[in-house]
Amino acid sequence: MIRLVPDWLLYIVVITVVVLVLFRVDQRHDAPEALPDAPEAGAFLPPPSQYDPAVLVEVGPIASGMGTAFAISPDGWWLTARHVVDGCDAVGLVVSRGQAVRVDDVKRAEFADIALLRTESAPAAMSLDTSERRFQIGQRAFHVGFPQGQPGEAYSRLIGRETLIARGRYDLEEPVLVWAELGRTSGLRGSLAGISGGPALAANGQVIGITVAESARRGRIYTAAPSSILRLLNVEQVAATGAPGERMTPDNYGQESDDLRRNLAVAQVVCVAAQPRT
Among 66, 51, 59, 224, CA closest to 132: 224
Q: Which of the four pLDDT bands, split at 50, 70 and 90, describes residue 273?
A: confident
152-165 pLDDT, tens digit per residue, is 999 999 999 999 99
- Kindly report the average pLDDT of the chain as a whole number: 86
Q: Nearest Cα to 78, choosing from 238, 191, 226?
A: 238
Per DSSP, the three-state class of 262 is helix
CB-CB contact of 267 with 261 (8 Å): yes
Question: pLDDT at position 153, please?
Answer: 97
Is the predicted pLDDT of residue 21 greater than 70, yes or no?
no
pLDDT number for residue 38: 54
pLDDT in tens, 118-173: 999 999 999 999 999 899 999 999 999 999 999 999 999 999 999 999 999 899 99
What pLDDT does 221 receive?
Answer: 97
Cα atoms in the Cβ-side hemisphere of radius 13 Å centred on 70: 36
Q: How far apart are CA 155 and CA 203, in angstroms?
A: 10
CA distances from 167 to 56, 60, 100, 171 (A): 8, 9, 31, 5
> Are 118 and 76 in contact, with CB atoms under 8 Å apart?
yes
Rounded-to-integer distance, Cα 200 and Cα 196, Å: 10
Rounded-to-integer distance, Cα 190 and Cα 216, Å: 7
Distance of CA 185 to the CA centre of its chain: 16
Mean pLDDT of 50-67: 92
The answer to whether the CB of 113 falls within 8 A of the CB of 82 is: yes
Predicted confidence (pLDDT) at residue 3 exceeds the cutoff of 50: no
pLDDT per position as a tens digit, 95-110? 887 788 999 999 999 9
Q: What is the pLDDT of residue 29?
A: 38
Compute the average pLDDT of residues 59-88. Answer: 94
Name all domains of the chain by residue range, CATH numbers in brackets. 7-272 (2.40.10.120)
